[in-house]
Structures are given as structure tokens and as C-alpha cells.
Amino acid sequence: MRILSGIQPSGQLHIGNYFGMMGPMVRNMARGELFAFIVNLHALTSVHDKARLVRDTLEAAADFLALGLDPEKCTLWVQSDVPEVTELAWVLSTLAPMGLLERCHSYKDKVAKGIAASHGLFSYPVLMAADILLFQAEVVPVGKDQKQHVEVARDIAQKFNNTFGETFVLPEPEIETSVATVPGLDGQKMSKSYDNTIGIFLTEKQLKKRVMAIVTDATPVEDPKDPETCNLFQLFKLFAPADRLEEVRALYVNGGAMYGVIKQELVGLIWDYFRAARETRARLVDDQSYLREVLRQGADKAREKAGVTLDLVRDRIGLKY
């Protein structure tokens, strides 16, 4: 089984990234052939600062490795180091119906949140389709909000296959329903775009400040509360042991849940959960030569795979003569 997913180097990694994609990706090393990449070309839709993009790209690599990704058991690379993807994106763009792209909710959502409208932002799903199809990925672990983009990749692949002959595998999105959407501080989906995240590698002081800012209602302590509608509880259950989770659930249902106390406990749970990763990452970010070498080797492996697919595409459409 070929499994693929990537992450943008457009800011600090947060727990929504981890539970929605990073954690499952690490587990996927045991399931099949894993392709993991840092999507710095996609990041250009919102990041126009050279120093920041370079820094964030290397730090994203450190994040991947610190959280358990093993470059000996997968292929890890930076998107722009495999130029075959941009050629395939152009080919696919000549087949992608405008109506299909106009229906993509991500573009509308991002523009509504203040991200400048651009051709790159609009055609983002085509480049994502190229990322997926170039490696003949069968499974694409994504958050709920990215499911539509995998469906777009399927639609474009099917149109290519119908037009030029069987070429691409049709990918399937895979969503862990229990963490399909991790809530942010305000109860919306956790997203850097909404500034409602809890970073994985914050200092303890920063972590406490973010957790204490989680929005809760004004229900009195002694009154019963529905834990399933409380974003604090939804975050708490990602980290709490099963027995402690049931104790806190009972406090919600029967009365007695004190939000401030639960937040303090959540700070400790998050801090302990990522302790080993935090220590590993601190070492990695100080060894940029090692990070660059890992990414170079990964790009070489990725280009071997990409070259096979692109050579087939060129032959199918008439670019080989």
C-alpha cells in the first residue's frame, strides 16, 4: 500500500496537525510504503518571506523527525526539490474543469478569512492532485477539511485515465473520525489561519497561556454540563488516560466540573505528552546540516518514483516524440 501526506511549513506545528495527520502518518510507516513531504510550494500562497520560509521548512523537517518519522522507513522530502510535480500540475490543469475548482470550499474559506485571492490559491487543489498522483498514492490521510481536495484528485485522475488510458491510481482519503476536526481555543477547527491553535513545541509558560485561553461557557460549577459540546473537554480527551477521562466526564454530567482546574490539568498532560519529542527537536534544529542531508536523500528517492510516473504521462499525452 502506498500512503502519502504532507504538511505546510507555514508556522508552528499544533496539536490539530499532530492528531489529524502527523500521528497517523508515523503509524503508517508500519502499514505500507509511506511518502511524507513538506509542501513549501503550497506555502507560497500565504508566505512571502524568504527567511521565514527557509526557517519553517527546516523546522518542519525537525518536527517530523522529532515526532517519530524515520527516514529509513519512509520517503521524506521537500516539495520544491521534486520539480516533476510542477510539470504534472500543469498537465492536470489542462484537464481540470473550472466548475470543479470553483466548488472547492477551501479557496472561499481562506479568502473569507483575509488571505489574498490569487491564481495559486485557486488552483491549490490541482497542485495537491499532482502531489498525490505523481506517486500513485492509494491512501491519503487528511483532516476532514482536506477530504474534498482528495476527491478532486480522484476526479482529475479519472478524467485523465478516460482521455489518455489507464495511468493513475485513484486515491482514497482516510480520516480518523475521532480526531477528524480538532477544536481550537474558540471551538472552531484548530487552524493557524484562525489563530486558535495550541502549539506542540511551546515553552511551558506559552502553553499555559494558550490553554487558559480556551473558551468555555458561563454555566455554574455545580450545574450539569454536556461534555460533548465543550471544546475544553474535546481537547482534554485527546490526552487524558481513560480512567481520568471518565472521572472528568462524570463531573460534567453530574455537576462539579471546574473549568480552571481542568485547564491546569490539561497543561500538564500536553507538556508530558510531547516531552520526548520536544527534547529531540531541540537537538535537531541545532543540526541543520543533518536535516538538509536527510531531505536531500529523500528528494533523490522521491524523484526516482516521480520520474517513472511523469515519463508515462509524457508518453500518454504526446510529449515524447
User: What was the pLDDT predicted at 163?
Assistant: 97
Q: What is the pLDDT, as a whole number, of residue 308? A: 98
Please give the angle made by the CA atoms of 295, 298 and 299, to the nearest 5 degrees: 85
Out of 3.40.430.10, 3.40.50.300, 3.40.30.10, 1.10.240.10, the CATH code matching 202-273 is 1.10.240.10
Determine whether 209 is an active site residue: no
The residue among 260, 160, 145, 251 whose CA lies nearest residue 194 is 145
For residue 192, indicate whether it is catalytic.
yes
For the chain, the structural domain boundaries read: 2-181+288-317, 202-273
- To which residue does cell 497543561 refer? 267
Q: Which of 50, 110, 113, 159 is catalytic?
A: 110
Contacts of 174 (CB under 8 A, 6+ apart): 24, 139, 140, 141, 142
Residue 90: the pLDDT is: 98
CA R_g for the chain? 21
Q: Which of 50, 192, 205, 263 is catalytic?
A: 192
Q: What is the pLDDT of residue 228?
A: 93
Q: Which of 50, 144, 189, 209 is catalytic?
A: 189
Sheet holding 75-78, edge to edge: 75-78, 33-38, 2-7, 139-141, 172-174
Q: Is the dihedral of CA 298, 300, 302, 304 positive or negative?
A: negative
pTM, to two decimals: 0.86
DSSP, res 183? B
Pair 235, 183: CB distance under 8 Å: yes
Mean pLDDT per 10-residue interval, the chain, length 321 residues: 89 86 87 96 92 95 95 97 98 95 83 83 94 97 82 97 98 76 91 90 97 96 95 96 97 97 98 97 96 98 98 97 88
pLDDT score, position 178: 57
| Beta carbons within 10 angstroms of residue 195's beta carbon | 10
* pLDDT for the residue numbered 180: 59
Architecture of domain 2-181+288-317: 3-Layer(aba) Sandwich (3.40)
Alpha-carbon torsion angle 188, 194, 197, 202, nearest 10: -170
Q: Is 189 an active-site residue? A: yes
Cα 143 to Cα 308, 315, 320: the distances in Å are 29, 34, 38
| Per-residue pLDDT, 17 | 86
